[in-house]
Structure 1
């Protein structure tokens, strides 16, 4: 006989769940519902009649339609009857309640559970947990577990499966391990159950546990093949009896965990290879094969997420040994694991294997390869992968292609890919528009000044892109606004620049430094480049007075602006503010100060400032030295150039093409042609040292390029430019030019008379400038 609920117990349960109802529903229905529950029990403790069969249907229909208020009213109305019914008569209501994670369902289930066989309630509780997962209402799931514990309902494998999904929903890896431990105490886990644990571990990126469980599943699959079947609906089920685990007991007597399983597997691994070889010849059922393939795929995709290509290769080999043919999904995870770790070229090789097996790659596989090719600036190959994709819902691979076009300055290829996006009705996101402003905001080539025609064209382009943004309901981000501001600044459109700054001020909070400060920096930099120092000063003062915190870049821009008017005093004031804000001067700061001193040809002051920066530990760069070289070359100060060249060498700062140009021009302007060629050779060899380390084999290869008379040599040198090695390209061409004019190439710059003379001159000054 099922234990009957007492009036006191019913009252306590109703009070307990009515509190949660009152919080979530404002308490409107609570009074009627409590009254219904109170009249639910009679004076002798037996269950009173709630509803007739037709009444049950009315309540069920109301619950299904989501009309909870009407269901409560009907429940209250029918609870006034006097006929006695058993708890089993309310099965249909309970089943409907279990599909609705709701205090009404919990309260009714709690009372019914006290008046019927506890095992008959287990499917209802499982349904309720499933509903909690579907609606992501974890609080109700916890209440349900408390009820199950109180009523000693116990758990079966379906319960554990629902708990696994809820634990994964909460990203709670420790809970998954606890469920594994508890489930293993009472059940000899079937491949179907192991599949669910493998899925849980991979969702939470616990690759070690997932792999351990997978190996256990492999062994189990061959021993328990007959246990797995498929229902008429196509779902998998376990044919063994599912006896519920007790809700409580002596847990200390059993200690089963992943570590235990792992140690057992380690003991068996010596025989695993031979076992796989022998058992792979056996014919597994289609159901078991599918379960195994799904689990391998889960772990394979986890390998891609954590970039573990070694384990991915092991899994692929094991699948082949077991006779499991990899599917497109398997290769999807495998290629992503390989490509993200070893590069897109290895992923392309795997893709060729798929093509040989007539396995169509997933769109996600092609998307990953397209993104990686774009990152490597292989636009043609990236475009091939984009063309092969059948269904595209995410603009990410297209954005990666646009980003590569932006890096390589190829707007014409970007236009083609945009046309393809339009044909596919693929809606852009904010990243797409950020890149469009960067790609098409400028009309003129770099270092060309804007004019009236180009400014009109830029305004039209920006307006067209913004209209498309409005059509798709997308607002400006701080980066898209910055790209617009850069475009306007490059074209010298100061009026429009200030207008967009005001729009940015309204769009972003002045106290959100991460968002607004870079916007101000972009405007200030554009104004300084446009020689609008007075307006830049006004913007800077307005920025500070409105509460926007300048960063190091802001101060450096303003110090650079002081060089326009040659105001060293203002620059020192800015450095003082910089210190108070917690920023230390850097090479770019010294460069700004040097420009001010060099404007008045104060080379002694510039050299003194350079020494001071070195003494304070500032890491100097080539741009700083080039600032001095440029002015010294213009003013014909070869003595300064030679002093700075040697000191630059001692500081370990390698020259760049601008360095070579300034030094070479200074000697040529004074008629020192041989010295100019010798200096060009030395600086070019030092440039090569930045890109390639000196080895005999490498030197021979470079000498062949420099001294070769084949017409293919120069184009081969230019190929290095495509690999983003422009310094190497320039250095090789300069050395080839020297060789053509009859100057031999020396790989030891210290042997040069010019280099030795510069070293001696600096030594005579005791290392001081």
Structure 2
């Protein structure tokens, strides 16, 4: 937009009156007189000037503003330019009325045009006019022009009202995040020794919060206390600053003094705009109140030295607090309402900080104190408390709090519902998460929907994800790339992992992938690295090797080459190895070097796994050597695939030696390392190998999982050791729950009735437990099966004869 750079007219300076310069009557007379003031007692009287104007006298200003409101700027300009005509006399109230509209709208272009008209008519302006012009320019984003005006006023020695202009400009620069102009304004204020007032300190507090500068807030506090008596409004601003910067200790101390200050009958008023203020002379006055004392300032400066427990005790209502409650309730009229509102806001701010710092206990104590002070918690208060409770994972308590809010006709806001829904999704409680999402009115926050889709993926319930995505489309929710990444993972494959792909599933998978990509194109979203990997994995899980390679060639094109990296090739290599396309996998490894993509540890593990398909241990050793040469340490996953290659030769002694080496070299072996050997030993009915591996697991304190139980039970059953099979299954099921006897005893008290019950509903209950914890549910189901077979359930697995024999096996056995 073209900006008009304008010149400023000559100003008329008032004479000194009681040490203060005030704008006075211009040297002209008649209808062009602007800015004649009487003696004023403070800046707020100046701000109120022009608000009590005669409706008939402002008829010309009303015509101009009406034209602007209707969008007829040319007509408004014509009216303004014809102001010299007798029927259109331009007076001070007309100018104020027009400038107020331009500042409120804002309309910086018309305010500059008004300025030029006033300049052409040689009309002097008042402090109010300059303030409105500056505000219109600042609100409209014309900061450079506003700075010109401030400099113009400063150069003409109008120091009596330069500080309000600086404050207006400073506030706009902070809002526009223009730090260059902010620093320039602060430098000018310091150079001109303009000083600071309460408005300045408020702007500096906002700047410190935006810069996350807690030390600056404390410095502002100390400087403020030197010149001003703290009032309930200023304390509220400092509390807001402390809570936004997560300084809970300082916020609590300030809140405590704020409650003490509320006992006094200090006047609290409202401006025309509905803002609270304490009427007082806004000039530097040394503080003599207890709040501004050096003792309290030292407390604020050294807030970290306070004991947390002692600080909490201050906020628990005592008899003095009850007296404060009585005094607050005894206040009458608007003061009581104003004090209650301001106190409630400050309590809300501190509870909001408790939510961010995950301090739900303190948040609840603050609620109790509010009620004892006679402050009824608002919807905002309950929302902050709910977030504090949710932050520590107490979902059930948060639900109860929402019910309490409903009983009080208070509605939780969308952010609270979103946060609770996210936590329910993380807990895999899809019913509750979906119910909360349905209560959200109109939120464009994608996080709760992403969390729900992730939960659907974890629970393998794509049908629920389809319904949620359909709801998102109905709400005209524009998805982002994270949504599409999950859609490829959820719907890219059809039969996996239950059965292998076939022609029908291939056709369905292709149809789904095409539909998702078309939707991406419609919304103007390109593939990300994660969406590409999920798509490639979907094609690989369906065994669609040809389509997989075709899509990789598409990624290799110049349009998507920026996302081509090691993870992309690893996804393709893994799918090729799973499909036993060994030669294509080797060729793909060679292509990585052509594109300059370096392999990582996962790449080498996949290729070593490929060697197991080809039964080539020599190639696996070569790859292992390359892996070490490239600086990648041998990890548990590497030993797992090496053991898998060994087992292709069914060389169990060498395999067990490799297992011992893995245990001694890796930091923490995982259960998959042992299951790899157990699987082959079960198939070959090698009980000796099974028991040796179990002995190693016992020594390393490795908890078995469901496949471990399956392999061990099957190995004994194949060899017709049925009693030992049931005994081993019972012991491993106990160990799958926990190795700790106290934990097992707790599980016994809670679930033993389900194991021994003859009611069929017990199995339904256990299946519900499986949804929350697979290991616990599977262990309970297995123990119930052992009980049905007539085996007595012992909750001390180490006392089992089989477990004792396994634990005492020799490593050479």
1:451 match: 502
The alignment yields a C-alpha RMSD, in angstroms, of: 4.1
Is 1:738 aligned to residue 799 of structure 2?
no
Is 1:223 aligned to residue 246 of structure 2?
no
User: Cα deviations across residues 207-234 of structure 1 (Å, max 9, x unaligned)?
Assistant: 22222222222222331442x1112332
Classify the secondary structure of the residue corresponding to 2:650.
Answer: coil
CA distance in 2, matches of 1:686, 1:219: 59
Q: 5 Å matches for 1:305-704?
A: 305-505=356-556, 516-690=565-739, 693=742, 696=745, 698-699=747-748, 703-704=752-753
User: Cα deviations across residues 598-647 of structure 1 (Å, max 9, x unaligned)?
Assistant: 11222222122122223324533222222222222222333322332323
1:282 match: 330
Is 1:718 aligned to residue 767 of structure 2?
yes
CA distance in 2, matches of 1:89, 1:435: 58
Deviates more, 1:123-132 or 1:646-655: 646-655
Classify the secondary structure of the residue corresponding to 1:534.
Answer: helix
Contact persistence 1:180–1:258 (CA under 8 A): no
Q: Aligned match of 1:257 in 297, 300, 308?
A: 297
Classify the secondary structure of the residue corresponding to 2:425.
Answer: helix
CA distance in 1, matches of 2:107, 2:326: 56
Shift of 1:672: 3.3
User: Cα deviations across residues 418-444 of structure 1 (Å, max 9, x unaligned)?
Assistant: 222222222222222222112211211
CA distance in 2, matches of 1:124, 1:678: 86
Classify the secondary structure of the residue corresponding to 2:277.
Answer: strand
CA distance in 1, matches of 2:623, 2:660: 21
Do the aligned partners of residues 152 and 254 (structure 1) sit closer, same or farther apart at CA in structure 2, a change above 3 Å counting?
A: farther
CA distance in 2, matches of 1:431, 1:729: 32
Do the aligned partners of residues 564 and 134 (structure 1) sit closer, same or farther apart at CA in structure 2, a change above 3 Å counting?
A: same
CA distance in 2, matches of 1:93, 1:717: 73
CA distance in 2, matches of 1:588, 1:430: 31
1:112 match: 153
User: Cα deviations across residues 42-76 of structure 1 (Å, max 9, x unaligned)?
Assistant: xxxxxxx9x9998999x9999986669x989979x
Classify the secondary structure of the residue corresponding to 2:263.
Answer: helix
Q: Aligned match of 1:232 in 262, 272, 276?
A: 272
Do the aligned partners of residues 90 and 559 (structure 1) sit closer, same or farther apart at CA in structure 2, a change above 3 Å counting?
A: same
Q: 5 Å matches for 1:122-161?
A: 122-161=163-202
Classify the secondary structure of the residue corresponding to 1:257.
Answer: helix
Shift of 1:188: 0.8
Classify the secondary structure of the residue corresponding to 1:281.
Answer: helix
Q: How many residues align?
A: 719
Query: TM-score scaled by structure 1?
Result: 0.83
CA distance in 1, matches of 2:285, 2:549: 71
Q: 5 Å matches for 1:59-74?
A: none
Deviates more, 1:515-524 or 1:621-630: 515-524
CA distance in 2, matches of 1:741, 1:285: 75
CA distance in 2, matches of 1:456, 1:679: 45
Do the aligned partners of residues 383 and 151 (structure 1) sit closer, same or farther apart at CA in structure 2, a change above 3 Å counting?
A: same
2:283 match: 243
2:61 match: none
Do the aligned partners of residues 256 and 712 (structure 1) sit closer, same or farther apart at CA in structure 2, a change above 3 Å counting?
A: closer
Do the aligned partners of residues 494 and 52 (structure 1) sit closer, same or farther apart at CA in structure 2, a change above 3 Å counting?
A: farther
Contact persistence 1:203–1:302 (CA under 8 A): yes
Unaligned runs of 5+ in 1: 1-24, 42-48, 247-252
Q: Aligned match of 2:758 in 684, 709, 720?
A: 709
Classify the secondary structure of the residue corresponding to 1:155.
Answer: coil
CA distance in 2, matches of 1:381, 1:525: 37
Do the aligned partners of residues 741 and 154 (structure 1) sit closer, same or farther apart at CA in structure 2, a change above 3 Å counting?
A: closer
1:250 match: none
Shift of 1:89: 11
CA distance in 2, matches of 1:127, 1:477: 45
Q: Aligned match of 1:203 in 241, 244, 251?
A: 244
Classify the secondary structure of the residue corresponding to 2:330.
Answer: coil
Query: TM-score scaled by structure 2?
Result: 0.79
Do the aligned partners of residues 751 and 367 (structure 1) sit closer, same or farther apart at CA in structure 2, a change above 3 Å counting?
A: closer
CA distance in 2, matches of 1:651, 1:546: 43
Contact persistence 2:263–2:324 (CA under 8 A): no
Is 1:162 aligned to residue 203 of structure 2?
yes
Do the aligned partners of residues 535 and 258 (structure 1) sit closer, same or farther apart at CA in structure 2, a change above 3 Å counting?
A: farther
Contact persistence 1:559–1:592 (CA under 8 A): yes
CA distance in 1, matches of 2:485, 2:264: 57
CA distance in 2, matches of 1:756, 1:261: 64
Shift of 1:680: 3.0
Classify the secondary structure of the residue corresponding to 2:269.
Answer: strand
Shift of 1:702: 5.4
CA distance in 2, matches of 1:320, 1:711: 50
